[in-house]
Amino acid sequence: MTAPIYMDYNATAPIRTSVIDAVTDAMRVVGNPSSVHAAGRSARKLVEEARTKVAALAGCRIRDVTFCSGGTEANNAAIRGAGAASVIVSAIEHDSALAAAKLAGVPMFVCGVDSDGVINQDQLRALLAESPSPALVSVMLANNETGVIQPVQEIAQIVHEFGACLHTDAVQAAGKINIDFNALGADYLTLSSHKLGGPQGVGAIITAPTAPLAPLIAGGGQELARRSGTENVAGIVGFGVAALEAMDDLGEVPRIAAMRDRFEAAVSDHTNTACIIGRAVPRTPNTSCVAMPGVKGETQVMHFDLNGICLSSGSACSSGKVKVSHVLSAMGYDEETAYASIRVSLGRMTQDSDVNALITAWKSLYGRTTDRPIA
């Protein structure tokens, strides 16, 4: 049996062999990084080496990296721990940011996006003017479904004009575009290891030197009391290795973008009824969100799966009910289009032959189902 073609990097990236080796070695190191004896110091050294690597990926100071359990926790930590009097989130944030905003215990406002999925800056200004101050604004750097990149630098300027703070979820941007925390001007930034080819269950919240962060998890005071709990040493080591390699992989961006563009060109050459979402604005190089009219996303996912290709649908299944994507709804797509969308996300292992198989499978489904009622 041949291995499936994996095109779901935005869900999780295949773990790197070097990461598996480093994690395995780290698991053999005995010691709690908080212990002062030699064994503890060995574990601490591993954690601090990884912190240096993650700081390099984020473009921030080493001490501003706080390790935690992943992107979900980092989003919760920033949004609920910033001590803001109100929270403004963009309508296309990841569920973890939207849910954290609801739990923050202060008034919550949602800022819309345009039809390309880019935040409406006039509405953001209006919300900042009317929301209790200081506000915490959360706008992701790149969207997980469409890859659309937000002008975070411009957004940071607006946010700071109003004396508010900015959090940006960079989970889907890291390793795909260059990240420079200082240049972005955000006060908080979220990273997740497993989107970079590191282990699952580890991530980081990056904080600007002046940004307050009340701990979400209190206890023994680890991570400068920002996040208590004995550090996941092996996971953190793997995250560090993945962070460094992901930076090197930025050289692969033109190759990956060319494959994504070739897929999209094949779709639009084949038909003008398919809709390539977010195509008109800057996107991460690996992501393509495509609606095939009349064919439900889950039907498409099954078809690709039968053809040995792993990818995602735009809609999500929760509690047995298919939920339309809140991202595509916020962009103004009707339910029919939103339900008919899939997400292809390529990565470092993707080859041209994989894209050929994707194009063939896409065309064969389109040829079979077009002009039929929704499957």
Residue 149: CB atoms within 10 Å: 21
Minimum CB separation of residue 192 from ligand PLP in Å reads: 3
285 touches ligand PLP by CB under 6 A: no
203 touches ligand PLP by CB under 6 A: yes
DSSP 289-353: EEE-TTS-HHHHHHHHHHTTEE-EESSEEETTEEE--HHHHHTT--HHHHHTEEEEE--TT--HH
Q: Which residues contact 16 (CB under 8 A, 6 or more apart)?
A: 197, 198, 241, 242, 245
Q: Which residues contact 254 (CB under 8 A, 6 or more apart)?
A: 285
Minimum CB separation of residue 44 from ligand PLP in Å reads: 24
Known catalytic membership, residue 317: yes
CA 29 to chain centre: 31
94 touches ligand PLP by CB under 6 A: yes
Binding mask 126-155 for ligand PLP (x = CB under 6 A): --------------x---x-----------
242 touches ligand PLP by CB under 6 A: no
Amino acid at 67: F
Piece in contact with ligand PLP (CB under 6 A), picked from 71-79, 106-114, 129-137, 292-300: 71-79
Piece in contact with ligand PLP (CB under 6 A), picked from 22-30, 167-175, 179-187, 239-247: 167-175
Backbone phi and psi for residue 373, each to the nearest 5 degrees, phi listed first: -65, 160
70 touches ligand PLP by CB under 6 A: yes
313 touches ligand PLP by CB under 6 A: no
Q: What angle do CA 155, 160, 166 make, to 5 degrees?
A: 60
- Locate 55 and state its tokens: 């700081």
Minimum CB separation of residue 115 from ligand PLP in Å reads: 21
Active-site residue numbers? 317
Interaction site with ligand PLP (CB under 6 A): 70-72, 75, 94, 96, 140, 144, 169, 171-172, 192, 194, 203
